[in-house]
């Protein structure tokens, strides 16, 4: 379902004080599940009455939520408030000057919109919307989170975005992945891609021969990435884009693992099984799986020797 970016609608109504208040809630959520009103007022350097009035508006707009049954009046930042802070940062840094309400990607845990740079170039702006699936996955590479008593979903969203940005920085010079431009909080700005995810294609959009050609491009690219030392670990038709020029891109990298990860071989094999099964089911593409796996195991071993 396509949804509008609420923070974008509210953005013109926000004052500098509102952003200071949102920032105060954000920073103090490290220490409080519900940030006390007095703490927010102190951070924003205004009196209680003024900050309470502005928080009331921010609450009505859906950027914060209020709770008063905990022995004090406390506030949390919502994902929409987090969106507003990220948009503000990108605007202040001159990375984007506008964002369209047109979505170019709607995932289970991320929404992607078209952004416009000061040079009038189109970019993709990806807002992570983390759920429990991502939290389970992120514990693989951030086990220290397990011991934290209070973990904000906003913080986990930030870690997911940071990890994907790092992966794109590593891979974009050597592989066909989106080129990263900037990262802030739970949001990544990257190159705009003129193409379509394979999951959106029907079984008649590609012939068997065309689908085999696409699969071979994906496999060759993925072998290069594995030899570099990175495993996607969530490969599927959702994460492969067929560009308008017939080339491919492999997208969505927040769950990547290194080849040195203890279960790397398992996740690599699962990636290949999902990929090959999908092409067989949708376009009746048959390949010699044992040969493909042998080639990927060789790439995996080469990456380990580089460690």
Residues noted as catalytic: 234
Least Cα distance to 57 among 32, 22, 91, 98 occurs for 22
**Is the dihedral angle over the CA atoms 67, 68, 69, 72 positive or is it negative?**
positive
Least Cα distance to 158 among 136, 133, 183, 190 occurs for 183
């Amino acid at each position: 379902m396509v949804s509008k970016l609420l923070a974008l609608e509210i953005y013109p109504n926000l004052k500098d004080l509102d952003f200071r208040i949102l920032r105060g809630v954000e920073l103090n959520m490290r220490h409080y599940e519900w940030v006390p009103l007095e703490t927010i007022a102190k951070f924003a350097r205004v009196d209680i009455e003024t900050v309470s009035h502005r928080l009331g508006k921010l609450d009505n707009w859906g950027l914060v939520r209020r709770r008063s049954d905990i022995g004090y009046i406390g506030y949390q930042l919502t994902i929409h408030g987090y969106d507003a802070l990220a948009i503000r940062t990108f605007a202040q840094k001159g990375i984007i000057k506008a964002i369209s309400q047109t979505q170019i990607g709607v995932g289970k845990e991320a929404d992607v919109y078209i952004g416009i740079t000061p040079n009038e170039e189109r970019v993709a702006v990806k807002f992570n919307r983390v759920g429990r699936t991502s939290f389970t996955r992120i514990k693989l590479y951030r086990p220290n989170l397990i011991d934290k008593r209070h973990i904000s979903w906003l913080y986990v969203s930030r870690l997911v975005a940071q990890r994907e940005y790092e992966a794109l920085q590593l891979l974009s010079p050597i592989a066909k992945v989106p080129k990263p431009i900037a990262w802030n909080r739970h949001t990544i700005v990257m190159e705009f891609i003129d193409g379509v995810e394979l999951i959106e294609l029907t079984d008649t959009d590609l012939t068997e021969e065309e689908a085999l050609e696409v699969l071979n491009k994906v496999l060759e690219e993925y072998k290069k990435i594995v030899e570099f030392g990175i495993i996607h670990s969530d490969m599927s038709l959702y994460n492969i884009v067929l560009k308008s020029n017939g080339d491919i891109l492999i997208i969505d990298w927040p769950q990547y693992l290194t080849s040195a990860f203890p279960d790397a071989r398992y996740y690599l094999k699962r990636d290949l099984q999902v990929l090959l099964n999908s092409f067989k089911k949708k376009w009746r593409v048959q390949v010699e799986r044992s040969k493909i796996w042998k080639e990927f195991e060789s790439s995996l071993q080469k990456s380990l020797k580089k460690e």
